[in-house]
Amino acid sequence: MADEDLGCYFTLIYEVGIINQIGTAFLEARLPNGLLVSHFGVVSHLIRVGDGATPVELAGAFQVAKTTMTHTLAGLEKHGFVEMRPNPADKRSKQVWLTDNGKKFRDEALAKLAPLFQELAGRFSSSRAAAMLPELAEFRAVIDQLRDEIT
């Protein structure tokens, strides 16, 4: 129960911060003209989970402020990668739909990233990466829950 006991959480956050920095920079360097990981992430999310999410749902999924998501979505819309449509179930709300160009953007980004990840796979196997995921995901779920409770 000493302080050093809690130190591993700080170390964990520290490591995660650095990995996030490097990963973001890596991906961003390979995305076309001014597009960011946030854009790529939203499009990927829409492909994985499905179209028609609301901005507030997306903000929750990525744990960013609503205003940030508004900004990101505006950028995606300007590039023609998503379409904002009124939400038939709630007139305050909107729905985000992918366009063909949006899917193409994601496919091309993935293709451009693939060699890099192949190289990475040679140095840190995908099975090792996969093995880390369950604990990471649960840690994420725990602090997510904690965040909700503490407000």
Residue 102 partner contact from DNA, a second copy, none using kind-dependent CB cut-offs of 5 to 8 Å: none
Q: Rounded CA gap, 82 and 57, in Å?
A: 15
**Which residues, at least 6 apart from 64, have a Cβ–Cβ distance to it below 8 Å?**
38, 72
**Which residues, at least 6 apart from 100, have a Cβ–Cβ distance to it below 8 Å?**
none
Q: According to the binding rule CB under 7 A, does residue 20 interact with DNA?
A: no
Minimal distance, residue 150 CB to a second copy, in Å: 8
Q: Rounded CA gap, 101 and 49, in Å?
A: 18
The residues in 7-66 that bind a second copy, with binding defined as CB under 8 A, are 8-27, 37, 41, 44, 62-64
Please choose, from the candidates 118, 115, 66, 113, the residue with its C-alpha nearest in 3D space to the C-alpha of residue 92: 66
Among 13, 65, 114, 137, binds DNA (CB under 7 A): 65
Among 30, 71, 85, 147, binds DNA (CB under 7 A): 71
Q: Rounded CA gap, 14 and 69, in Å?
A: 25
Q: How many chain residues touch DNA (CB under 7 A)? A: 26
Q: Rounded CA gap, 46 and 96, in Å?
A: 8
Q: How many chain residues touch a second copy (CB under 8 A)? A: 59
Minimal distance, residue 4 CB to DNA, in Å: 27
What the block records as the tokens of 29 is 């360097």
| Site stretch for a second copy (CB under 8 A), options 49-57, 77-85, 98-106, 108-116 | 108-116
| Binding stretches for DNA (CB under 7 A) | 21, 25, 34, 36, 38, 54-57, 64-68, 70-73, 75, 84, 87, 90-94
